């Protein structure tokens, strides 16, 4: 059992995605990736808000409806009942008890759980626009703006998948740091360990966060609050090939005195082939990690960029 498995991270999830038969038709919407892969590393907390407010299963379908005065309600598709207030109350009560989770996976398109592009119907008709957010998901995201969230379908995209898992693990590390008590040393250590991860995701934010930690004008708690806002916003950016290449070249610089001429050529070629799209990201990173075992460097060994998530997930082999 590896480090990630020993320390399973608590993540919220729509119950139907891990096989609970809670959907309107008595079925589920099982995500094989969540159930068979991520469950080895995440301790899922399943929640179904529609069951939570007592709708039961099977049940009539519900939908988002926009009234003439632009108020969005959650009602039965046949208009026979309105569960807006019940759902909002459930969302508020549940949200207040979710400070311990480090991420959330929502069920796409759901009027309760969809995080984006949920159909909102015009009142009294069947025409709608896909510009809504599930009422429950909206409350969770509003109350926990730093919380990494994703939808089941979007996890099929390898870049979105890696980005979400990277954010969950980084946020969990931050939560652990806060639980132990914030200190200047803890903040600077966290920033140092995530230097190259930040550089790959958003170099401009990386450049601004260092000086933030160096100032003495704000109270420590305020500094920490501003830092993590910038940090999590930066990680939302999907790293580009250019961003990774720049980061890899910075890492390459640490070995210029230790490597012989052939080793330097090999590493430079691996990075350039990645830049051209001829090799996956894992190739130059594996070589850097190999050189790190030959020429140990404490600072580089602590870099989250080199090991941001479990190797078993194979998240860097496809790009």
* H-type alpha helices, 181-240: 184-193, 195-201, 203-214, 220-235
Distance CA 178, CA 171 (A): 10
Q: Please report the pLDDT score of residue 1 as a whole number.
A: 36
Query: Which residue shows structure tokens 């730093």?
Result: 146
The whole-model pTM stands at 0.94
Q: Output DSSP code: residue 183.
A: -
Q: How do the pLDDT tens digits run along the chain, 319 residues long? A: 344 555 799 999 999 999 999 999 999 999 999 999 999 999 999 999 999 999 999 999 999 999 888 889 999 999 899 999 999 999 999 999 999 999 999 999 999 999 999 999 998 888 899 999 999 999 999 999 999 999 999 999 999 999 999 999 999 999 999 999 889 999 999 999 999 999 999 999 999 999 999 888 889 999 999 999 999 999 999 999 999 999 999 999 999 899 999 999 999 999 999 999 999 999 999 999 999 999 999 999 999 999 999 989 988 877 6
Residue 36's contacts (CB-CB under 8 Å, 6 or more residues apart) are none
Q: Output DSSP code: residue 62.
A: E
Residue 68's contacts (CB-CB under 8 Å, 6 or more residues apart) are 123
Q: Please report the pLDDT score of residue 319 as a whole number.
A: 67
Pairing assessment for the beta strands 9-14 and 42-47 based on DSSP bridges:
parallel
Question: 259-268: long-range contacts at Cβ-Cβ below 8 A with a sequence spacing of 24 or more?
Answer: 259/291, 259/295, 263/291, 267/291
Q: Please report the pLDDT score of residue 130 as a whole number.
A: 94
Q: Please report the pLDDT score of residue 2 as a whole number.
A: 46
Q: Please report the pLDDT score of residue 121 as a whole number.
A: 95
Q: Are 47 and 14 in contact (CB under 8 A)?
A: yes
Q: Please report the pLDDT score of residue 282 as a whole number.
A: 94
Q: Please report the pLDDT score of residue 216 as a whole number.
A: 82
CB atoms within 10 A of CB 148: 24
Distance CA 294, CA 291 (A): 5
């Amino acid at each position: 059992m590896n480090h990630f498995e020993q320390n399973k991270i608590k993540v919220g999830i729509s119950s139907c995605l891990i096989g609970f038969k809670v959907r309107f038709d008595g079925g589920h919407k099982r995500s094989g990736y969540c159930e068979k892969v991520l469950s080895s590393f995440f301790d899922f907390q399943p929640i179904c808000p529609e069951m939570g407010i007592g709708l039961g299963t099977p049940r009539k379908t519900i939908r988002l409806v926009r009234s003439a005065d632009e108020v969005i309600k959650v009602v039965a598709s046949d208009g026979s009942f309105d569960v807006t207030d019940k759902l909002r109350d459930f969302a508020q009560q549940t949200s207040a008890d979710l400070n311990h989770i480090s991420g959330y996976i929502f069920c796409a398109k759901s009027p309760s759980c969809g995080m984006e592009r949920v159909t909102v119907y015009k009142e009294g008709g069947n025409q709608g626009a896909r510009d809504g957010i599930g009422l429950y998901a909206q409350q969770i995201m509003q109350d926990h703006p730093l919380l990494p969230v994703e939808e089941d379908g979007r996890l099929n995209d390898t870049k979105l998948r890696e980005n979400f898992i990277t954010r969950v693990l980084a946020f969990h590390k931050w939560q652990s740091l806060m639980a132990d008590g914030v200190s200047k040393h803890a903040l600077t250590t966290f920033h140092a360990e995530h230097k190259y991860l930040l550089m790959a995701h958003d170099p401009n934010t990386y450049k601004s966060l260092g000086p933030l930690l160096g100032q003495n004008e704000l109270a420590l708690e305020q500094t920490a609050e501003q830092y993590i806002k910038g940090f999590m916003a930066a990680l939302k950016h999907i790293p580009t090939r250019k961003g990774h290449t720049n980061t890899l070249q910075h890492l390459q610089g640490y070995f210029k005195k230790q490597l012989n001429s052939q080793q330097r050529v090999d590493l430079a070629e691996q990075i350039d082939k990645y830049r051209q799209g001829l090799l996956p990201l894992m190739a130059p990173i594996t070589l850097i990690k190999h050189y790190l075992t030959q020429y140990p460097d404490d600072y580089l060994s602590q870099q989250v960029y080199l090991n941001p998530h479990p190797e078993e997930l194979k998240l860097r082999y496809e790009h």
